[in-house]
Structure 1
């Protein structure tokens, strides 16, 4: 704003000065024309009279009365610099002692210039007529005083306008961003008991609605993550409390009275099973924490999914023989980027869960296809992922023993969630599919579950190709 006001000041000041210079130039040009005509008249008179030209010039008014209203001054001299006449006569006395009209003529030949004579400012022009040189000077002190006063007034006006605009802008910014105080107050009130508070987007100005929407979106994620963390804390406390209480109870029972050696051995076997369950749970939790941080450079390599899936399918086929469950593998299993150990754990968990949920005497299909995607694996259309990416899509499909809703299937990714807690076939910790999702995200991939016709369970995994 200050720069714009300085530009306006310079432009106005230059425009006014240029206007005065143009007026002065017109007056001097007209005066020079009249002076030339006066000198021509003197030449005509001297030809018919005996008087000399210098005497005629001395006795002749150089300028018309209309031009003398501008207080014009004239000095006429010959080419040697000798003054012949001046109008008014006293003006010649005001000239400095070193004043030389021929020297000024050499510098300002037919050009207008400014000169200071006896503390007064003049705009002048020198004309040549035959053997004579004439100086015409127009006082411009009035213009100088006017410009000084005008510049002072203009500066004050522009300063006042700048101050007013700054004040209005500051007030507008304060008024326009006042709704930010609402967001600030809600942020100050954030605590675990008040995560459901939201900002009414329609109450915000248009410029801040995107901020309010982002805030609400952040609070939704924060509330969801906090609830998930709370459930995880409750679940882990419950899951750890049960085996520990079992170990404590078994130990107290065995210590109450002496028992046969076989009873001690049997109880040690029970306690060993319980400790293995605790160890598996702790290892799974450590694996979850590890994969949530992503993969390091040393972990990333090329993984042959053909060899990996063949080995896992052969292993789980033997485990599924009792329920007459078979596997059918098809498609192009190619090399992907990732950690082989983690990917083996991912597919092992999927195959284990597929056997658990599959109906007896059914077939579990494992198919692979190569797809191209221009959308980020997390679902966002980022510019960095605008280039087409080649992915390996692996789909596991099996027929369920019991119908399952899509909403219930989504919960299978939650930690410690078990769909059928009464079943004796599956004694896991409820962390299997949570680990699958964490490993997929660590590999910048994704995993989805879909229920087809309530009885067909389909798990899709997408991974980046090498």
Structure 2
């Protein structure tokens, strides 16, 4: 049954539910009305029978002699004149029948007296295909010497049963007709009520790779579906953004790979066009090796970013001394910095002191629990960019600040101010603020800052950039290390 319901459409389910509930309500209402009518008939019969029984009691209580007992049949018979639907049975304590206006057989359990007072308990029984409802009373005469008189009065309730039969038949016919009508109206109501879903489906079916900019109108849907429409719009926005990034990345990747591959093909074709000596071939192979190395680095960086997009996991977690790492990077870039007459400066401070010191306690304040090689690579990429864009005789500063639960790394270098529209895109793959810029050293594929961001996010940190007044600063916020 459950599997069958799951195959039904939502409109069919709602229609079936409304129809079932409507039928249930009608049936309960019909049962309540039938029970009320039946109770009304019982009260009506009880009132009529008890009235006649009280009349018989009044006559019996005036009996004083046996002759009066013998005359009871005439007196009680006269009392029922005009009531053809009533039957009366009168008998004494020994079971002698004094009056029986019809052939109705009263149940013996009610005729045998139990007390000297009438119980007036209404009861029913079947006889000869007919149903009767009656009352029995046991009354004492005025003369204590005379036996107790039992009086039973009954009425045929065939007309009541006929009425109830017709009523129940009409009720079932009405319920069937109401179920059909309710089912049809429920189907129409459900179809109209679910029309916004069909509209959403049509709009969603029209979304393709070339039409990801379509959105669902929140004003055209009811409040119950507004959240769903909003969620779908957010999903479409994410898909559009992801597809656009993928499209841009594919174009940029093709552009970046085209240059080294074209160089390799050109050099190889030129070298094969005529015979050369061993020295010339060696120079060509060395040039090709440089291009291959560039391609290998680019592919390795792309694999790293692909892994980062699926959740970069820090496997080799260890205690990292940021002061030592920055100092080691300064030593690595010292020759390049001296060549460009650039000074590399390190400043660090804690919440307790602004003084430079090398105590073990202060150095622990700038420790992180993370992957040392990844963090060094992130800092190296930023320093490499800073050296590339800093003019001669300028200073590159690295500021470390230890807070309660964070270590903030701020790397600043003087250079041309980056326009605001380009700042938020610096961390995109292959993005350059100046697309026409080509580096003489052949480095800078446009993946460095994207890798930095992936590493920082992998360490549950944040990265931001600001550029104004010819000063560009990258700010890294990383969780402060705990003892491991």
Q: Under TM normalisation by the shorter chain, which class is it? A: 0.7 to 0.9
2:443 matched to 1:427?
yes
Aligned-residue offset at 1:50? 5.8
Aligned-partner Cα distance in 2 for 1:287–1:184 = 38
Q: Contact 1:35 / 1:63 at 8 angstroms: preserved in 2? A: no
Tell me which residue corresponds to 1:61.
76
Q: What residue number does 1:314 align with?
A: 327
Given the alignment of the two structures, is residue 407 of structure 1 paired with residue 407 of structure 2, yes or no? no
**Mapped contact 1:112–1:124 kept (Cα < 8 A):** yes
Mapped contact 1:452–1:458 kept (Cα < 8 A) = no
Cα contact 1:115–1:122 (8 A) shared by 2? yes
CA–CA separation in structure 2 for the residues paired with 1:252 and 1:120: 117
Cα distance in 2 for partners of 1:267, 1:369 equals 54
* 1:6 match: secondary structure: helix
Of 256-265 and 134-143, deviating more is 256-265
Tell me: CA distance 1:180–1:18, structure 2 relative to 1, closer, same or farther (3 Å).
closer
Q: 2: CA distance between counterparts of 1:406 and 1:126?
A: 105
Against the structure 1 CA distance between its residues 182 and 36, is the aligned structure 2 distance closer, same or farther, given a 3 Å change threshold? Answer: closer
Distance (whole Å) between structure 2 residues aligned to residue 451 and residue 133 of structure 1: 116
Instruction: State the distance in 1 between where 2:328 and 2:408 align.
Output: 19
Q: Alignment length, in residue pairs?
A: 431
Q: Which has the higher contact order (CA 8 A, sep 6+)?
A: 2
Q: Which piece of structure 1 moves more, 117-126 or 18-27?
A: 18-27
The whole-number CA distance in structure 2 between the counterparts of 1:79 and 1:282 is 118
Deviation at 1:105, TM superposition (A): 6.6
Distance 2:92 2:133 in 1: 21
Structure 1 regions of 5+ residues with no counterpart?
A: 372-391
Mapping 1:442-453, distance limit 5 Å: 442-443=458-459, 445-451=461-467
Aligned to 2:319: 304
Q: What is the 5 A alignment of 1:207-286?
A: 207-286=224-303
Contact 1:409 1:449 in 2 (8 A): yes
Please name the residue that 2:347 is paired with: 328
Alpha-carbon contact 1:198-1:216 (below 8 Å) kept: yes
Q: CA RMSD in A?
A: 3.4
Q: 1:188 to 1:5 in 2, by over 3 A?
A: closer
> For 1:349, which of 378, 381, 385 is the aligned residue?
381
The answer to whether the 8 Å contact 1:354/1:364 transfers is: no
For the 8 Å contact 1:440–1:463, the answer to whether it is kept is no
Alignment match of 1:133 (pick from 127, 146, 150): 150
Q: Is the 8 A contact 1:394 1:461 kept in 2?
A: yes
Contact kept in structure 1, 2:218 and 2:229, CA below 8 Å: yes
Give the C-alpha shift of residue 148 in structure 1: 1.6
Paired residue for 1:119?
Answer: 129
Does structure 1 residue 361 correspond to structure 2 residue 378?
no
Deviation at 1:119? 1.4
TM-score with structure 1 length normalisation? 0.79
How far apart are residue 154 of structure 1 and its match? 2.2
Compared CA separation, residues 26 and 204, structure 1 to 2 (3 A): closer
Change (3 A) 1:133 1:207: same
Distance of 2:68 and 2:431 partners within structure 1:
129
When residues 198 and 14 of structure 1 are mapped into structure 2, their CA distance, relative to the original with a 3 A threshold, is: closer
> SS of the residue aligned with 1:448?
strand
Question: d(CA) in 2 for partners of 1:67 and 1:393?
Answer: 110
Give, in whole Å, the separation in 2 of the partners of 1:419 and 1:293: 27
Task: Map residues 9-158 of structure 1 onto 2, 5 A cutoff.
Answer: 9-29=27-47, 31-44=49-62, 46-47=63-64, 51-53=67-69, 55-61=70-76, 64=79, 68=83, 71-86=85-100, 89-90=101-102, 93-95=103-105, 101-102=110-111, 110-130=120-140, 131-158=148-175
| Distance of aligned partners of 1:118 and 1:394 in 2 relative to their CA distance in 1, 3 Å threshold | same
Distance (whole Å) between structure 2 residues aligned to residue 363 and residue 183 of structure 1: 55
> How far 1:463 sits from its partner (Å)?
4.9
| CA shift in 2, pair 1:77/1:443, >3 Å | farther
Stretches of 4+ aligned residues off by more than 6 angstroms: none
> SS in structure 2 opposite 1:59?
helix
Give the CA deviation at 1:77. 2.8
